Amino acid sequence: MTTMKEVAERTGVSVSTVSLVLNDRDEGRVKPAIAEQVRATAKRLGYRPNPLARSLRTSKTRILGFISEGIAATPYAGGIILGAQDAASKLGYMLLTVNTDGNSDEAREIATLKRYGVDGFLYAKMSNRFTDVPKPLHDYPLVLVDATDRTGRYASIEPDETLIGYDATKRLIDACAWYVYENAARRGLVVGRDVSVVGVDNHRVFAETLEPQLTTVELPHYEMGYWATRKLVSLIEGREPDDDEPETTAPLPPLDASIPAKIHCTLIDKQSVAQR
């Protein structure tokens, strides 16, 4: 494991200089060219900070708590949690995830995460709805995922449902669900020729197994998880993360977007819409 001392020796500077740079306290104290050299050397040597040492020094654990009400038991949870985990890892944080039923066990799980010393919380719901933030979370940095706080106090991220309806309707207009397919077949109609169908959520069971394949608007689960984590880290650290944003299906809104931040979902065109 590479140490600060090794980085200092390779760079030709003191250990204290390396410490300032690698703890992002170099501005105005270390020349930019030297700081850049220290970071490049640390990266080349594979330096990784000691989380325990850092937490003792800064009173920050770099641990985030992810509270999921029900979504961990759905097909959609994977994307949200994966996005949050990827962003946390990239930014040097650990993500602890718990799933609750929204009732009696929620307070217990929040208390458990607090005992781990988390720096902030992600609070995720199902189906993009208004919610009341639990009182034990009020004094922590907090970002809501696929939900909106009734008071408008907390940052949140959700799909832009207005644009979902607009994009789906526009796609049908420009061209001129299992139940629809079945009824079309009963009436001798061919989906994609005689009738057009557009779905929402890009659920693979439907979107990829129906014949013809279903044109659908993809809900941005991964993107919501990723954005929410970056936003939470920005609240904890008091600055915008300097990482590079990942390539995503739907573009991420800026971190200073109005509350709630909305993601313009991507329309995935397949064969269920009739062509002119």
What is the structure's pLDDT at 194?
Answer: 72
Structure tokens at 24: 């992002």
What is the structure's pLDDT at 176?
Answer: 47
- Quickly tell me which residue has 């995460």 as its tokens: 113
What is the structure's pLDDT at 226?
Answer: 94
What is the structure's pLDDT at 105?
Answer: 80
Give the chain's radius of gyration (CA, Å): 23
**Closest of 248, 250, 265 to residue 167, by C-alpha:** 265
Cβ partners under 8 Å of residue 219, min gap 6 = 76, 159, 200, 201, 202, 265
Cβ partners under 8 Å of residue 151, min gap 6 = 133
**Rounded distance, CA 243 to CA 115, Å?**
29
Contact at 8 Å (CB) between 218 and 199?
no
pLDDT tens-place values along the chain, 276 residues long: 788 889 999 999 999 899 889 878 888 889 999 999 999 999 999 888 766 566 555 567 889 999 987 666 666 667 899 999 999 998 889 999 988 875 668 888 899 899 888 999 999 887 777 888 889 999 999 999 988 888 888 999 988 888 878 887 776 656 547 556 666 777 777 766 777 776 666 665 555 666 666 777 788 889 999 999 999 999 998 988 878 888 888 999 999 999 899 998 888 777 767 665
What is the structure's pLDDT at 64?
Answer: 95
Question: Residue 106 to residues 79, 94, 227: CA-CA distances in angstroms?
Answer: 22, 21, 24
What is the structure's pLDDT at 144?
Answer: 94
The pTM assigned to this predicted structure is 0.68
